[in-house]
Amino acid sequence: MMLRTIGSRRRWGSWLLTGGLAPVALLWLAPLYLMGVFATLPDYAIFSPDLPLTPGGNFLENLAFLDGTANFGRAMLNSIGIATVSAALSLLLTSMAGYAFARFKFIGKQVAFSLLVATLTVPYAVLIVPQYVLVARDLALSNTWIAVIVPPLCHSIGVLFMRQTFLSLPQELLDAARIDGAREGRIFFSIALPLVRPSMAALAIILFLASWNNYLWPLLVATESGARTAPVALGSLIGLNVVPWGALMVGATLLTLPMIVVFIFLQRYFVAGITAGAVK
């Protein structure tokens, strides 16, 4: 009797929670759904007295307009290349630094580590003016990949994440290699790194995403139409006198959809990367 009441109360609670959350979830999905719908509509249909909720047939026209006006195809290629190189380089730098912090005792370790943690509270805005003066003005590197890729390479959260990962490796494994006479670089690349592949995957995804989504820095140093990244090219449409809304939504969709697909399959890694800094 008692058990049955509890059982039915649980069932009620379950329905209440699942049902109650549904409208909120729909509200949350609406912007992405409408983005996709609007990408397939001509501009006049996007803003009409009735909200259009079903896709139309104007996607290719919008796409062609987007590519013609904002050189979007080139911008997408730039973004893919830049995000890939950025993620790879940043992964290398942060893994090496994280390994040093996790696996060695050395003079200055405390200072270097405190410096790293302190940067977590430094807003990126404080760096941007001197970075621009240095890269664009003094070194005249505007519109090169170096300018877009190198300044944002440091992600202290990545170092902390990799440090945490390397701390969990059993010391005997590394010591065994050391006794066998392996050099430190070799131990790192052929023993330590392969052991932490899942963590590296998680971090690589987060780093790729950070570069892929970066707007402010490329906006400053990738100004020519052939050098722009996709978010910058997209933003340039908003600055036009007559904003091509359909083309704008196609661009937003192209920026978003690949990441959503990756997210569906690799959600675990995204979650691991995002929670890296918070939960120790």
Partner 1 sequence: MGTATRAGIQAPRTRGASAAVPLDIRGGWRRRRHALAPYWFLLPYFLVFAVFWCWPIIDSALLSLQNTRVNPWDWNIAINWRRLLIDRAFHAALGNTLTIMAIQVPVMLTLATLLAVALNSPLLKLRPIYRFAFFAPVVVSDAAYSAVFRVLFNGQFGAVNHAFAALGLPTVEWLQDPNAMLSTVMVAMTWRWTGYNAIILLAGLQSIPRDLYEAAAIDGATPFDRFFRITLPLLKPILVFCLVLSVIGTTQLFTEPWLITDRGGPGGGAETLGTYLYKQGFVSMNFGYAAAIAYTIAGMAAVLAALNLVFTRGKQA
Smaller CB separation from partner 1, 61 or 277 = 277
| CA–CA separation, 133 and 147 (whole Å) | 12
Closest approach of partner 1 to the CB of residue 57, in Å: 19
Residue 168 contacts by C-beta under 8 Å, 6 or more apart in sequence? Answer: none
Q: For residue 258, count other CB atoms closer than 10 A to its CB.
A: 13
Q: What string of DSSP letters covers 17-44?
A: HHHHHHHHHHHHHHHHHHHHHHTTS-HH
Torsion of CA 85, 91, 92, 97, to 10 degrees: 150
Closest approach of partner 1 to the CB of residue 110, in Å: 13
Closest approach of partner 1 to the CB of residue 195, in Å: 16
Smaller CB separation from partner 1, 201 or 259 = 259
Determine the Cα angle at 86 with ends 197 and 73, to 5°: 120
Tokens describing residue 209: 């995403």
Smaller CB separation from partner 1, 61 or 184 = 184
Closest approach of partner 1 to the CB of residue 35, in Å: 5
Closest approach of partner 1 to the CB of residue 7, in Å: 12
Smaller CB separation from partner 1, 130 or 198 = 130
Smaller CB separation from partner 1, 1 or 111 = 111
| CA–CA separation, 26 and 197 (whole Å) | 36
